[in-house]
Homo-oligomer: A and B are copies of this chain.
């Protein structure tokens, strides 16, 4: 059974806080092992990649074959059904359309002193995308990372994906092809991250690495951060559903289970203003759990971290939602827009009865890479901005420097940075001499 809380309980505050702070994931300490792998890849390059791939993925290939050839990609893609290909293409098209609207504009203007000020955006030149192998090898995640990179204008996009025993996921290769990925390598784990960050004979280094992975991949990304940019370190998934009594309990149960089935450490929370509706959803979850393929995972998540919270009214629900700062927030209420206005912290909001969170995982267009573990308080989902950087621009005229330079020189003196001040006053003196 999930946790059951009511905001009228005397111990509510204690139990709700406990729900938000409960430790859901054991992070094994793999840092030393990861450091050794990275050092080895830096030292031995391709040879190290060949060794680790042989050891961890039971795949022994010469370095030049670590990269998929065009023929190999073609052969894998040929295994994908026409219907699956069409679904991936529709998803890619919708993700592309949504993210194209995120492209920021360059700006420049002349201020009242005559100074030109502004900024411009440029794409990261080369990006690497890590794709997990095995069960968590999701073609949808390939699209969610690769499409924004290409929309941003990344010239070179390299994917690494482990192929245990040499087995590839045809859908992942198809998603790479649809998204315009330039290079695909049969590489996984910390060795893949090291290759992307530092480069080897066959893998050219990139500037930014994104994509999910296991504890080794996460530790490796933390280690190479600074050498390259990385996206967030994702935690286990979460959904918060706010629902009134006017909902089909089975729909809400399925929405809660669609997070719970990801991972035993996922968290699904229902907040409702109707305790009886909460009971119906609890029963519907149990009924679905009897037949669900991933019932062992979903059941463990629901039992350990799931919760049904009864509140007095929807205003209270909104206040609690801000404390949860959920990755995914569904508003299954009569006026979802009005409720949405009362919420500040959430990775993605799904409005109304016809917007199950799963639509956003695949096909609606917004990104499914979203801030977890309450980090929606301070961070955002993946976007084109993750593959762009801003250069600020300024150009003083003699008049502009005359107008603001003296104040700058004064502040430089106040900070005891003499050369800073001199670089301004040397120019100002020339102006004062009437030489400019």
Residue positions of A touching B, CB distance < 8 A: 83-84, 86-88, 90-91, 94, 97-98, 101-102, 104, 107, 109, 111, 115-117, 119, 122, 124-125, 135, 138-140, 171, 207-208, 226, 228-229, 233, 248, 250-251, 254-255, 257-258, 260-262, 288, 292-294, 298, 336, 340, 344-367, 370-371, 373, 375-381, 383, 385, 389-398, 400-401, 404-405, 407-408, 410-412, 414-424, 426-427, 430, 436
A377, closest chain B residue (CB): B207
Known contacts A389-B380, A396-B364: does B351 contact A116 (CB below 8 Å)?
A: yes
How far is A391 from B376 in the complex, measured between Cα atoms in Å?
8
A250, closest chain B residue (CB): B426
Complex contact A90–B407 (CB within 8 A):
yes
Complex contact B262–A417 (CB within 8 A):
yes
Residues of chain B within 8 A (CB-CB) of A397 are: 354
Complex contact A360–B394 (CB within 8 A):
yes
| Distance in Å: Cβ of A436 to nearest Cβ of chain B | 8
Residues of chain B within 8 A (CB-CB) of A371 are: 389
Residues of chain B within 8 A (CB-CB) of A394 are: 348-351, 355, 359-360, 364-366
A393, closest chain B residue (CB): B349
Given contacts A87-B414, A124-B378, A366-B393, 12 further A-B contacts (CB under 8 A): A94-B111, A117-B364, A124-B377, A257-B419, A258-B417, A261-B417, A288-B419, A348-B392, A358-B420, A361-B412, A371-B389, A383-B390
Complex contact A404–B359 (CB within 8 A):
yes
Complex contact A421–B358 (CB within 8 A):
yes
How far is A248 from B429 in the complex, measured between Cα atoms in Å?
13
Residues of chain B within 8 A (CB-CB) of A400 are: 354
Residues of chain B within 8 A (CB-CB) of A250 are: 426
Residues of chain B within 8 A (CB-CB) of A87 are: 407-408, 410-411, 414
A381, closest chain B residue (CB): B392
Residues of chain B within 8 A (CB-CB) of A383 are: 390
How far is A229 from B405 in the complex, measured between Cα atoms in Å?
35
| Distance in Å: Cβ of A387 to nearest Cβ of chain B | 9
Complex contact B363–A418 (CB within 8 A):
no
| Distance in Å: Cβ of A78 to nearest Cβ of chain B | 16
A402, closest chain B residue (CB): B354
How far is A139 from B414 in the complex, measured between Cα atoms in Å?
9
Known contacts A354-B396, A391-B376: does B125 contact A344 (CB below 8 Å)?
A: yes
Residues of chain B within 8 A (CB-CB) of A411 are: 84, 87-88, 91, 139-140, 362-363
